[in-house]
A and B are shown apart, each in its own frame.
Chain A
Amino acid sequence: MSMKISTSDFKERVDKGIHDSFMRGAVVGAQERMGTRRLDATNELGNWEEWRKHGEEIRKHVLEHLDYYLKELSDNVSKRGGHVFFAQTAEQANEYIRGVIKEKNAKKVVKAKSMVTEEIHLNQCLEEAGCEVIETDLGEYILQVDDHDPPSHIVVPALHKNKEQIRDVFTEKLNYQKTEKPEELAWHARDMLRQEYLTADVGITGCNFAVAETGSISLVTNEGNADLVTSLPKTQITVMGMERLVPTFEEMEVLVSLLTRSAVGQKLTSYITVLTGPSEELDVDGPEDFHLVIVDNGRSSILGGEFQSILQCIRCAACINVCPVYRHVGGHSYGSIYSGPIGAVLSPLLGGYDDYKELPYASTLCGACTEVCPVKIPLHELLHKHRQTIVEKEGKAPISEKLAMKAFGLGAASPSLYNLGSKFAPTAMLPFTSGDKISKGVGPLKAWTEIREFPAPNKERFRDWFKNRDKGGDQS
């Protein structure tokens, strides 16, 4: 599927991630800083749990009435003169957008960061049609200049790169001649991009939350790039995942607050922009034409099923910022534009188990993600549901594991079998035991003992001690 960012397999990707020491340092640093900021921003409210519950009820309500609110949204967008296109597939969305570009005879497109356009591979489609596509979010811009390196984080896409790497990329590709200071790098990008905004024919954005009652869309940024993308080019195309809407401004406000605090620990980001239709007749800036493309691309098959709650997601990345697995393997290991816990749940749903069957297992089910999710998605439970689906419905688990689990199930279920098994464990393990530990295990224990010691089974099990003690035996 199109959200795929790598052709190598999961093990290779993880191995690469684990050995990328800069990336790992960057991720650990980012998790610490973003984690602290998020905690401060959520604690200061004093009743964060209430906010989460409200966020959850809004998102649930919208999903349960999604048909109604999408109809309301589209009616209101068109009332204000906008054009709405409902795209069931990525191909339909791309085809429509390419059509608009052709009709406008557009040569240059500026884009504000959007995960859904990454998901449908819009850039590639437009470039194939001969259009120049320029990402304007600083992080996305860096990745684009670096031969389309994929994003590794949904909020900070170039998190895996250090400033020296960015300097080298700029020097090689943009004839940059200054240092690796972030200010200088950012200001160079500012200068380069200014000209692009002023000369672009079309601006493309994602959508944080659409507002059904007024037909508005909202964009949340810190850089202000989305504002230039939507005020200078004469045509604006906004692409949204079909679930990204709210009933009214009042719910939008709550979700924006949850998003900015959870994502970056800010009360609000520098720019939150609410756009309704194209600009007014006498307005000088703002688009003359506004198109809203609403994308399904697999979402409707999640709706109504046991994974529906994943559609509550507001893309804040709080789950990524606390995930102990992401911390060590980084975003690219997930092989999808959606990484971390949200990616491990969403990627198999949108992209299929063939490509993403390992992701639900890349978790200790520690629940850190669930604890921070601002809209209370039970992420670790959904990861577990995936495992169950893989075993029971997809039949994709290895046969040896199936047999082992069956045997385990039988052994664990029967007190007599358990008793027998545990009683003879010390004898069975004897060949591998030295002193009180096992250093070289076989079978499933092999992977364990490659890293750690495994305790040898006690010669006297607890239950034997307890029984002997009841009989008045050794009480020490």
Chain B
Amino acid sequence: MKVTLFATCLVDMFQSNVGKATVELLEHLGCEIDFPTAQVCCGQPSYNSGYVNESKEAMKTMINTFSHADYIVSPSGSCVTMFHEYEHIFKDDPIWGPKAKDLASKSYELTQFIVDVLKIEDVGARFKGKVTYHTSCHMTRLLGVKKAPMILLSNVKDLEFTELPGKEQCCGFGGTFSVKMAQISEQMVDEKVAHVEETGADYLIGADAGCLMNIGGRIERNLKPIKVLHIAEVLNSR
């Protein structure tokens, strides 16, 4: 099966390990990876700040870049949610509307793709350690992917899972919110980190680069002994 990878700008620039793990994992599951190099940012940072028109060119670039794909897969729930949002943004546009709809219909978050499309619940991973999992807001509430990451993690050998208190509570990232409302964001991420600490887990896992960068950045600043990993990295360990 040919899979077109939407890496996201955060992964491309800052978290290339996540991209590598995603590629290797999907290949391990029998997919052939295609990476269109014309892909840019999905436009979410400016769009969410209210700059809708300024964001549209980036969206159109993405629609064109991925028009050839059968399946678009991304290791970021939030960015996939944005792809789905295009459909609403261009709904009154006779040219881009149908294209945006087509894009949304074939875009999947990584774990969602593995469970719902590939119909695989056990990727054959082995990961030794005590982990907890943060459910990202856009992925769970807006994209509606709740079970897939849990199913996949539950089948990872040697992995000791512990539930994160308040797991559905926002970590305080929110794109530009994290800098625009830095003081509030700090309180939110601190509560998140405190909850992670409460679990006694050695690893915090997530499926969204933005949230992980936020929580991870705070953990690192406060020198907490917790490692932050993307779910692709865990599912790709053997």
Tell me the A residues contacting B by CB distance below 8 Å. 14-15, 18, 324-325, 328-329, 361-368, 370-371, 384, 386-392, 397, 401-402, 405-406, 408-415, 418-419, 422, 425, 437, 439, 444-445, 447-448, 450-458, 460-463, 465-467
Contacts and interface: CB of A to CB of B under 8 A. Distances in A.
Nearest to A413: B57
Contacts of B174: 363-366
15 contacts: A325-B188, A361-B177, A362-B181, A364-B137, A364-B172, A402-B51, A409-B54, A412-B55, A414-B57, A448-B182, A452-B218, A457-B14, A458-B16, A462-B13, A462-B15
B40 A413 contact: yes
Interface string B41-57: 10101101111111101
Contact of B52 (A388, A437, A452): A388
A10 to B, nearest CB: 10
B168 to A, nearest CB: 7
B85 to A, nearest CB: 10
B53 A418 contact: no
Contacts of B169: 324, 368
B141 A18 contact: no
Contact of A463 (B37, B50, B185): B37
Interface of B: 7, 9, 11-16, 19-20, 23, 35, 37-41, 43, 45-46, 48-55, 57-58, 60-61, 65, 137-138, 141-142, 168-170, 172-189, 191, 213-214, 216-218, 220-221
Residue of A389, A414, A439, A458 most packed against chain B (CB within 10 A): A458
B96 to A, nearest CB: 14
B40 A412 contact: yes
Nearest to B19: A462
Given A415-B61, A453-B221, A467-B37, A409 B55 contact: yes
Contact of B46 (A409, A414, A454): A409
Given A364-B172, A405-B46, A414-B61, A458 B220 contact: no
Given A366-B137, A405-B46, A465-B20, A455 B41 contact: no
B214 A458 contact: no
A410 B46 CA distance: 11
A458 B170 contact: no
B223 to A, nearest CB: 10
Given A362-B184, A452-B189, A391 B50 contact: yes
Given A325-B184, A463-B37, 8 more contacts: A18-B187, A391-B52, A392-B50, A401-B49, A415-B39, A454-B213, A455-B15, A465-B20
Contacts of A437: 220
Given A455-B217, A462-B16, A418 B184 contact: no
Nearest to B180: A361
A361 B14 contact: no
Nearest to B36: A415
A413 B60 contact: yes
B136 to A, nearest CB: 9
A413 B168 CA distance: 32
Q: Which of B12, B53, B172 has the most CB of A within 10 A?
A: B12
Contacts of A402: 51
A363 B41 contact: no
A458 B58 contact: no
Contacts of B20: 462, 465
A415 B35 CA distance: 13
Contacts of A371: 141
B189 A370 contact: no
A415 B57 CA distance: 11
A42 B211 CA distance: 29
A367 B138 contact: yes
B142 to A, nearest CB: 5
A415 B50 contact: no
Nearest to B57: A413
B7 A462 contact: yes
A244 to B, nearest CB: 28
A324 B172 contact: yes
A18 B186 CA distance: 10
A415 B37 contact: yes
A412 B58 CA distance: 5
Contacts of B14: 455-458
A390 B180 CA distance: 15
A452 B214 contact: yes
Nearest to B64: A415
A388 B182 CA distance: 21
B38 to A, nearest CB: 4
B12 A422 contact: yes
A11 to B, nearest CB: 8
A456 B184 CA distance: 24
Contact of A405 (B16, B19, B54): B54
A366 B208 CA distance: 13
B99 to A, nearest CB: 16
Contacts of A15: 183
Contact of B217 (A329, A418, A447, A452): A452
B181 A361 contact: yes
A450 B178 CA distance: 11
